[in-house]
Structure 1
Amino acid sequence: MSVIISARNEERTLPALLKQVQRLNPAEIIVVLNGCTDNSYGLARMFKQATVVHCPESAGHDVGRALGAKLSRGDILLFLDGDMVIPAPQLAVFAWAVDGGVDVALNDLDALLPSFALSDDVTRCKLYLNSVLGRSDLGVSSMTAVPHALSRRALERIGYRELTVPPKAQALSIIEHLRVEKAGKVNVIKHNRLRQGNTGAGNAMEQLIVGDHAEALLRVLMHRNASGIISAKNLQEQRRQLAAWRNGV
């Protein structure tokens, strides 16, 4: 197993997370530091097993995950963020799922979120993309959220570059008939670190994630058009469904 951790200024949580990761006894730990100005680099270097990739300028968490995936050698890739400490047993569930044949093991957050009418735009985007892909059973489960894990087969099939846009990578996984399932249930909402860029309606992070889902939907439409799946009747039905989702009914 390769554990890939993306972090930016996480000196308060990164050491404790690394200790939990070590309990999993992975083959390798790859820490990608994005534009850190604190002591995250020095603390990460104290863990001899960790390969530390230092990007002086912030490239973003998703780019960090793609870079870590490219450098990885494991058959199982577990993706984490450095801003929250998750106990090893909860992390192991995702690795076990992949070891058992799952290609994309996602975090199940359905029980933690409000009804559709009260949901934010990001949640609605996740629900809608999964619905369009015929996987409403996935609910809001998304490669946008951690923890999640991939098989080596999934990485080779979709390509590490696609991980820079997680919803698109998820869409490609389903299009390629990979086995995508919910695995563990980790409350990352409770532990998510609040920053200036991820709080408030229409914040920068929300806009980024919504844009990622628009890109994913475009890829789905391109695939269906090339496969001859799209027809005028299908487009009309999709517009009707979109209107219903937008109106919260």
Structure 2
Amino acid sequence: MNVAVVPAKNEQGRIGKVLTLLQQTSVEKIVVVVNGSKDDTMQEIKALNMENVEILYFASELGIDVPRAIGAYQAYTGGATCVVFVDGDLVGNIRIQINELIYAVTTNMTDLAMTDCYPELDYSSKLAEQTLFFRTLLNLNLGFYDKIGVATPSHGPHAVSRKLLELIDFRDFAVPPVVLAFAVRQKLSVDVPTKLPQKQLGSKIRNYSHAKKIADTIIGDTIEAINYFSDKPRTRCYLNKEYQGYNPFRRFDILEKFLAVN
């Protein structure tokens, strides 16, 4: 069964479009992880009356990427053979890409299929340039740069196999680059079967402060993944600078409780 995991926090006006789009793909079930929403996200989902949509509701904000981990575990326990991750604000036309990711996992036996969101390395800002430097650094360390470029599970839709789900610590889905490092370490099949430039994702336009924290989050995650791959302590420091971003707001405590009781 192909399951989509969709994190959603304050996605009123967008979440309906995302779920409608997913209904037009090879996705058979959708797990929406609604967390900390203060708007009508829940009502918008329910109004669609889609039989194949399961809602996991959390009153608290789970923090960035933690909803992915919760959704992945829910999909796994429900028998998913392929899980594709799609953020709740991606209103771009990504149907083809979703199908290509699922095809890579279900037919080509890929264990981690990612999207190339930078088919051309267009450094639109200093933050993008810095983030892509660290993504390059990770993929070089993994020995996979020639194959996957700067692709990462942190950016754009991506999909994983049942085989990966059976092996991984689900907490690592909350730090996406670690999933990539894990897959390479386990000698699983990793590929980038589809492309979608960043500007075509249709994600929300945020302010600089948010963009800076997101960049620091991804950079810290990437450093953590490099350390994990090298069997070193999973710190987020590089050249005496620590990159935290939104990492301190990740509710690993809620994730731990969810994994313990489900």
Q: Answer yes or no: is 1:181 the counterpart of 2:191.
A: yes
Larger mean CA deviation between 112-121 and 181-190 belongs to 112-121
TM-score, normalised by the number of residues in structure 1:
0.82
Please identify runs of 4+ aligned residues in structure 1 that moved more than 4 A.
Answer: 115-119, 197-200
Match of 1:155 in 2: 165
**What SS does structure 1 have at the residue aligned with 2:231?**
helix
Q: Answer yes or no: is 1:14 the counterpart of 2:15.
A: yes
**What SS does structure 2 have at the residue aligned with 1:11?**
coil
Instruction: Return the alpha-carbon distance in structure 2 between the equivalents of residues 117 and 67 of structure 1.
Output: 32
Aligned with 1:69 (options 50, 68, 72): 72
Q: Answer yes or no: is 1:108 the counterpart of 2:116.
A: yes
Q: Answer yes or no: is 1:222 the counterpart of 2:231.
A: yes
Shift of 1:185: 0.9
Match of 1:56 in 2: 59
Shift of 1:155: 1.4
Deviations 1:76-111 (A, max 9, x none): 101000111234222101000101211100101232
Shift of 1:175: 0.5
Shift of 1:8: 1.4
Shift of 1:161: 1.6
CA pair 87-189 structure 1, distance change in 2 beyond 3 A: closer
Calculate percent identity across the aligned residue pairs: 27
Residues 118, 198 of structure 2: 8 Å contact kept: no
Shift of 1:133: 0.6
Larger mean CA deviation between 67-76 and 185-194 belongs to 185-194
Shift of 1:197: 6.7
Higher RCO (CA-CA < 8 Å; seq separation 6+): 2
**What SS does structure 1 have at the residue aligned with 2:178?**
helix
Structure 2: tracts of 5 or more residues without a match: 234-238, 240-262
Instruction: Return the alpha-carbon distance in structure 1 between the equivalents of residues 174 and 17 of structure 2.
Output: 26
Q: Answer yes or no: is 1:90 the counterpart of 2:90.
A: no
* 1:76 maps to amino acid: C
Aligned with 2:145 (options 136, 146, 152): 136
Deviations 1:49-99 (A, max 9, x none): 211111212112411010001000210101000111234222101000101
Aligned length: 224
Q: Answer yes or no: is 1:165 the counterpart of 2:172.
A: no
TM-score, normalised by the number of residues in structure 2:
0.78
Residues 178, 222 of structure 2: 8 Å contact kept: yes
* 2:13 maps to amino acid: R
Structure 1: tracts of 5 or more residues without a match: 226-241, 243-249
CA pair 55-189 structure 1, distance change in 2 beyond 3 A: farther
> RMSD of the TM alignment (CA)?
2.4
